[in-house]
Amino acid sequence: MLRDGIFKMRRSILFYFFILSLFLLIVGCSDNGEKVVANVGGEEIEITKEEFNEKKFEPTGIYHEVIIENEGFDPARLEISVGDGIEFVNDNVKSFNLVFENGDFDETIKTGQVVRHDFLQIGTVRYFEVTRPDVIGEIVVNE
């Protein structure tokens, strides 16, 4: 009888330990609401990191150049700040159908044409030419 009582007590302790561990795991993995200070429209505001990463920012008017050549993109990888844009310049001998993997951009750029695109969210965008999907470019958009 004493043995049964000890067994039940151990089982109860293990059950409560499991529940406590599960709770701590959930709390530890959830967004802790860590705040960052963001400059929005010239005003500094405090928002969570998740809100900051999902936020769409305003264009800065700053453009970086990516040259489309027969061999690929120059540069093939570029890091920019959120709100900056890219000027895609087609120095190729033919039109170039440029597509972003995320579907945000799909445009035919004629020879000698310049097309601009603003990057208003933080993240990485990969792009390619439809007829040459092995020629890949990448834009990394930072805070």
pLDDT by residue (tens digit) across 23-51? 555 655 555 557 666 555 566 667 676 66
Q: Is the pTM of this model over 0.75?
A: no
Q: Using a CB cutoff of 8 Å and minimum separation of 24, what contacts does 114-118 make?
A: 114/87, 114/88, 114/89, 114/90, 115/87, 115/88, 116/63, 116/85, 116/86, 116/87, 116/88, 117/85, 117/86, 117/88, 118/59, 118/83, 118/84, 118/85
Q: Give the model's pLDDT for residue 90.
A: 93
